[in-house]
Structure 1
Amino acid sequence: MNHLRDITSLKNRYYIMRHGQSKANLQQIIVSLPRSDSREDYGLTELGREQVRASIANSSLTADTIIITSGFSRATETSDTVRAVLGAAEIQVTDKLRERNFGSWERPITQIMKRYGTMTG
């Protein structure tokens, strides 16, 4: 017999948060490779940290929230801020949440536009 048939509601809630504004966002640089992220500081700007704090303040998350993040600096800074604000226990880091690999487009957007033109339809 299927034991799920008698379950009328689930208790799990999932909250997905994108990182706050990063230094790469400001510089209009695509950073999708871990080696690129580790060569320079592409973490959050002060505005990015404020965005994260504001998102948490407007959420219903509590200290028992399980936080899972990618290892990119912008994501770990976001999750560190979330953890600090909530008083959550720990952060789980997984490669499964990494940015897609943009390959040869791993550079400033202006260089891509020079080579390929604008990105509008």
Structure 2
Amino acid sequence: MDKKKIMICDDDEGIIDVLEMILDEVGHTVISVNDSLKVQAAIDKEQPDLLILDLWMPRLSGQEVLKHLRKHSAHQQLKVIVISASRDGEQVASDAGANQFIAKPFDLNNILESVNALLN
């Protein structure tokens, strides 16, 4: 598989660390952002192939981040996996324009399968 650029936006440093470790291990370049207000600028700068986005974050929710991204033509094709422990997270993620939803706590193999499926 070609090396891809994956951005992770989550306010939980532990989740970022785990995702960075497994995605880096399989050969991807990983950029992490722990502040949802900074993710738009980071996407504009880094041009990731995939965004892994937490749904519930302080200041600006992942749902709002994703809705804002989908309004801009430059980001309409960006692949997005939303992760959340929310009961209604799958519906919220779908309504906001996510390509896929993964419930927390997640299985690392599920994350890798989803990433591979969206990037191939």
- For Structure 1 versus Structure 2, the TM-score category normalised by the shorter chain is 0.3 to 0.5
| Larger strand share, 1 or 2 | 2
TM-score, scaled to structure 1 = 0.33
Q: Bigger relative contact order, structure 1 or 2, given CA contacts below 8 A and separation 6+?
A: 1
TM-score (ref. length: structure 2): 0.33
